[in-house]
Amino acid sequence: MLKLSQKHRVFVEAYDGDLLQAMRVAGYNGTDVYLKQKGEELLSLPLIKKAIEDRRKYVANLKEVIATREERQALWSQIMKNDDPYRKEELDPNGVPIPEGNIPLPIRLKASELLGKSEADFIEKLDVNHNVTLSDIILKSYDKDSGKSLEDIEAEYYELEEKRNLEAPDKIDDLI
**Nearest-angstrom CA–CA distance, 41 and 35:** 10
- In this predicted model, what pLDDT tens digit does every residue of 98-132 receive, in sequence order? 666 677 788 888 888 888 888 887 777 666 666 76
Is the pLDDT score of 143 beyond 70?
no
* Lowest-confidence pick of 28-37, 69-78, 96-105, 151-160: 96-105
pLDDT band at 1 (very low <50, low <70, confident <90, very high): very low
Residue 141: per-residue pLDDT: 65
| Residue 79 exposed, middle or buried by CB count within 10 Å (0-12, 13-18, 19+) | buried
Q: In angstroms, rounded to a whole number, what is the distance separating the alpha carbons of residues 35 and 37?
A: 5
Read off the amino acid at residue 59. Answer: V
Confidence of residue 2 (pLDDT cuts 50, 70, 90): low
Q: Which domains does the chain have, with CATH numbers?
A: 6-65 (1.10.10), 69-118 (no CATH), 134-169 (no CATH)
Which of 59, 70, 49 is CA-nearest to residue 119? 70
**Is the pLDDT reported for residue 174 higher than 60?**
no
Confidence category of residue 176, pLDDT binned at 50, 70, 90 = very low
Residue 43 CA to residue 40 CA, distance in Å, equals 5
How many whole angstroms separate alpha carbon 174 and alpha carbon 176? 6
Give the chain's mean pLDDT. 79
